[in-house]
Structure 1
């Protein structure tokens, strides 16, 4: 089934963009004034404090149609980035309307397939237990490794359950946005072990066809408690997993920070680079990020 087209905002939603901009400016200025009183567990810089506050306001204040109307599509951003690095865009049309966006040499000895963290768990589960509604994904052998960066594996109540809801103050995410996104993502489908890996028993993860697994998270993740619980269950079934938590870092900080022009090294980014170097070196190749 082909993916649905981007939703078009209603006239009311379009008119609402101006008040939304006003609230975003107010939040940004407020964060600038209060950021000087950051605590030891808050963002490491005033700049990131302001940026994260603005992002939290943005993802809560704007609906999905508004965001899709205001911001460029993934294809457009990919082509812009490729042009900025003087690379020829390479887009592969896949079945069911999906697309693959290549970065680098398709003939490289080691290839990194990029999924959302939740989908990494879903794809590994599909390889071990084929989903009845999805074509089989035959592989000649197990995958060399898998990385789950801040996997959101508890969509069904994991953001509102007091036991699983983590620190909400220095992350880019907000509980209200997570609940909204989960509803949009799931629609009328009931959750299962593929969408909510945190709900699966340990036995579900036995025999996952992958050599090594690394799970990354930031110490300020609102999702951190649910990620920690998921890793414990994953290890009980799959076996030893490397779990690295970077202090004072937010959700997918290595990529979010760069997106907002903060080039300071991150613990998650350094760990990802060194781990991939180690994995790829064992195959006689070199990793480049």
Structure 2
């Protein structure tokens, strides 16, 4: 990951909407792209008749677009629901990438995407949010925003709780101080120096806070969560493991409904990154995620 600069990697990778349109051609369905406030767009998959919509915030360190594996994973969720007699609609948020957009712009764009769904007639309970890696950071920031409105981000008024939130290997701290950053350094694909560049690009000159670094927020911060069900996953071999552990523990203090699953032997974001490397094994994290998704659409 340290072989190319961010701008070099961005130049050779399709944008999120370009990757989406390529996937649409492959699966032979018409693209549906909607523009939101603050310059974001949403890419839709799945039947419009679905009672539940999963809003996915993709990973990539906030510096990179959604990968081919994201579309495959989300399509699998839609097919999983279909095979079990249910329907799922998915919307992928195409947020502004760093360093061109810095925090809290991406949180503003996430709020705009959820507000769009609410304005279209969906109830909060019909909306699930999820994200992997940096997308997990955004999902956590959005969840916090529901109870603690960020001073630079529009508030969102809910008539009831959001249906659920799924955080997959969420990037919840930029400190790189906990033990797993050293103990798992040789077991994970994430290079600490490169990850530091990503977080610096994402934050720019904005000070860190409890929205941008959820693992550093105290347990009291998470009191009164406005999400019915929360699931958080981590890999036992990822550098982020200890950050994710402490974040999950703090959220769970006042929210016993929170599930935390740590997959033994898995590195960061295995459901995306290991699949990108061509590994086809049945990941424990993937089993957990599929089970969680299915339970909320049936």
TM-score (norm 1): 0.72
2:179 corresponding residue in structure 1: 163
1:106–1:172 distance in 2 versus 1, CA, 3 Å: farther
Displacement of 1:87 in angstroms is 1.8
1:197–1:230 Cα contact (<8 Å) kept: yes
Q: Per-residue deviation at 1:96?
A: 0.8
Q: Which of residues 119, 124, 148 in structure 2 aligns to 1:129?
A: 148
Q: For 2:52, what is the secondary structure of its paired residue?
A: coil
1:120 aligns with 2:139: yes
- Structure exhibiting the larger radius of gyration computed from Cα positions: 1
Q: Which of the residues 232, 239, 250 maps onto 2:256?
A: 239
Q: Partners of 1:263 and 1:73 in 2: how far apart?
A: 26
Contact 1:204 1:237 in 2 (8 A): no
Is it true that 1:69 corresponds to 2:88 in the alignment? no
2:168 and 2:233 in contact (8 A); partners too: yes
Q: Of the candidates 3, 14, 21, which is equivalent to residue 79 of structure 1?
A: 21
Query: Aligned residue pairs: how many?
Result: 220
SS in 2 for 1:114: strand
Choose 220-229 or 239-248, whichever is displaced more: 239-248
Among 241, 244, 265, which residue is 2:282 paired with? Answer: 265
2:211 corresponds in structure 1 to: 194
Instruction: Indicate the RMSD between aligned Cα atoms, in angstroms.
Output: 1.5
Indicate conservation of the 8 Å contact 1:219/1:246, yes or no.
yes
Deviation, 1:221, is 0.8
Question: Quick one: distance in 1 between partners of 2:30 and 2:239?
Answer: 38
| Cα distance in 2 for residues equivalent to 1:101 and 1:89 | 8
Aligned equivalents of 1:102 and 1:257: distance in 2?
25
Q: Does the 8 Å contact 2:178/2:242 carry over to 1?
A: no
Cα distance in 1 for residues equivalent to 2:276 and 2:19:
12
- Report SS of the residue matched to 2:233: strand
More strand by share: 2
1:139 is the counterpart of 2:158: yes
Report the CA distance between 1:182 and its aligned residue: 0.5
Task: Tell me the residue number matched to 2:38.
Answer: 96
1:18 alignment partner in structure 2 = none
In the other structure, the counterpart of 2:170 is 151
Question: 1:238: Cα distance to partner?
Answer: 2.7
| Gaps in structure 1 of 5+ consecutive residues | 1-58, 282-289
3-state secondary structure, aligned to 1:256:
helix
After superposition, give the CA deviation of every residue in 1:174-230 in whole Å (9 maximum; x if it has no partner): 111111101000000000010001111111101111111111111211100111111
Tell me which of 164, 186, 191 is aligned to 1:174: 191
Per the normalisation by structure 2, the TM-score is 0.70
Question: Within 2, Cα distance between the matches of 1:85 and 1:140?
Answer: 36
Per the TM alignment, residue 276 of structure 1 is displaced from its structure 2 partner at its CA by 1.5
Residues 118 and 151 in structure 1, CA contact (< 8 A), matched pair in contact too: yes
Gaps of 5+ in 2: 58-134
| Cα deviation, residue 98, structure 1 | 0.5
Q: Is the 8 A contact 2:235 2:265 kept in 1?
A: yes
For residue 124 of structure 2, what is the aligned residue in structure 1?
Answer: none
Does 1:230 pair with 2:247? yes
Deviation at 1:88, TM superposition (A): 1.3
